[in-house]
Amino acid sequence: MSRCPGAGGDADYNPGVQQRGLDFGAGPAPGPARTALSVSQLTDRIQGVLETDFFDVWVEGEVSNLTLHRSGHWYFSLKDDRAQVRAVVWKTQTRLVRFKPQDGMKVVVRGGLTVYAARGDYQLKVEVIEPRGKGALQQAYEDLKARLQQEGLFEAARKRPLPALPRCIGLVTSPSGAAVVDFLRVLGGRFANAEVLVYPARVQGPEAAGEIVKGIRALNRFRRLDVLVVARGGGSLEDLWPFNEEAVARALATSRVPTLSAVGHETDFTIADFVADVRAATPSAAAEIVVRAKEDLAAGIEGLARRAEGALRLRVARVRGRVEAVTAHRVFEAERGRLRAHGQQVRELSRRAEAALRLRLERARERARRGGERVEAFRWDRQVAARRQRAAALSARLLELLQGRVRHGRADARALAGRLEGLSPLRVLARGYALVWDEAGRLLRDPREVSVGDGLRLRLAEGELAATVRGKP
């Protein structure tokens, strides 16, 4: 039992017993002076008790005054026939609720009591909410089914037929599940030539719906895809829940190619089954629906070919009979005589045309012979040989002139080099002369330009020397 402060000090608090001791009509009660709590202190103590003792409770009641605020929070009252309590579901928690409550709905919620001190109110902060009498998943399934049906996604008018013989089949399923094995086994036995593109995706768990949607959109980008299948084996409602997600349903509805849903067993129905163009009871049944057996197709084609051949023969026989009956009339006999006369004229004209063509051909051959004789007399090869000889003679002459010019140029160059060598100052130095510079780098021509003790730099024919002026004459 909790302890709660009273007007006269701490006392045992019993919610079932009415507290007495305050009488506003009487005079002051005898005893020691009372200690009064402030409103904030009283609210703080109440908040401590409520939020500690009722931090995690399950409450059952009827939803009333529901407000779906634009901020994303849900506000409502939870009531029964004698009381009510305010409740709130914060935006971060609404994403985890798989259905939206409505006024008058019986629900069971889980959460904790919180106190809003500014108004002295308390409310239930809801973390889990489930409809009474059925699970949250079942309620969410029914809500989404009703909403999509109202939008027309289940209408038979929007269902597309599957192609009679698809060449490329897309399959979104788990690569390690039994569904892909059953589908490929049946498909291979019925039509081994069919091409199958398998998009690996999880088919159970919170990430499964997103991967299934990605698989549907990825396979839709293949232009040669003819039909798309989503499949998985049986399981509980929780196991099959990714195929009840709205995102998966809308991805199937917007698929550019016909879709087939093969989820669970024969008794299992998901939202994907209602949205897809065709529903198969099992993955094996989906393979049987997608393609007919190759032998059945061949037999059907052969039967159609026999029927077409028989119909064509019958039609030809009927047309031939009508033509023979019509041409037997005497009117056509006169026309046949005219046709024979025209035929004779055509043959005569053909004979004349052939004779004229032969004459023109003989004349053309004669002109060609004369032209050949003129070409032979001209002897173009001789003309070419003469031109080549002349070009060779000119080339030799040009080469001789160039060689003479080169020899003269080399002789002139050698003469100029000799003259240049004779004028070179190095030749003078080789005879024993030297060039002298002072410390400033000036070339000396007169001893008066330097003093005793100055440094000098001498350039000889084979190198340089450093010297110092020790005396002057």
The whole-number average pLDDT for the span 207-228 is 92
Give the three-class secondary structure for 76. Answer: strand
The whole-number average pLDDT for the span 220-239 is 87
CA–centroid distance for 17 within its chain: 71
The whole-number average pLDDT for the span 20-30 is 46
Question: Mind giving me the DSSP string for 404-471?
Answer: HHHHHHHHHHHHHHHHHHHH-HHHHHHTT--EEEETTSPBP-SGGGS-TT-EEEEEETTEEEEEE---
- For residue 243, give the DSSP letter: G
- Asked if the model's pLDDT at residue 15 lies above 60, the reply is no
Distance in angstroms (rounded) separating the CA atoms of residues 67 and 73: 8
- Structure confidence at residue 28 (pLDDT): 52
Tokens of 112: 């904790």
- Structure confidence at residue 276 (pLDDT): 92
Q: What are 289-337's pLDDT values in tens digits?
A: 888 756 666 777 888 888 888 888 888 988 888 887 777 776 677 777 7
When mean pLDDT is compared over 181-190, 248-257, 461-470, the highest value belongs to: 248-257
The whole-number average pLDDT for the span 102-115 is 84
Q: Which residue has the higher pLDDT, 148 or 98?
A: 148
Position 13 confidence tier, pLDDT thresholds 50, 70, 90:
very low
Furthest CA-CA distance within the chain: 161
Of 9-13, 213-217, 455-459, give the lowest mean pLDDT range.
Answer: 9-13
- Structure confidence at residue 135 (pLDDT): 57
Map tokens 């550019």 to a residue: 256
- Structure confidence at residue 24 (pLDDT): 42
The whole-number average pLDDT for the span 444-463 is 83
The whole-number average pLDDT for the span 109-115 is 88
Distance in angstroms (rounded) separating the CA atoms of residues 163 and 161: 6
- Asked if the model's pLDDT at residue 462 lies above 70, the reply is yes
Q: What are 40-81's pLDDT values in tens digits?
A: 888 888 878 887 888 888 888 888 888 888 888 999 988 888
- Structure confidence at residue 3 (pLDDT): 39
Q: Is the dihedral of CA 103, 104, 110, 114 positive or negative?
A: positive
Q: What are 155-209's pLDDT values in tens digits?
A: 989 999 988 788 899 999 998 888 889 898 888 888 777 889 999 999 988 899 9
- Asked if the model's pLDDT at residue 277 lies above 50, the reply is yes
Compute the mean pLDDT over every residue in the chain, rounded to the nearest whole number. 82
Q: Which residue has the higher pLDDT, 432 or 2?
A: 432
Q: How many CB atoms lie within 10 A of CB 371?
A: 10
pTM (two decimals): 0.44
Tokens of 292: 């007919």
Amino acid type, 51:
E
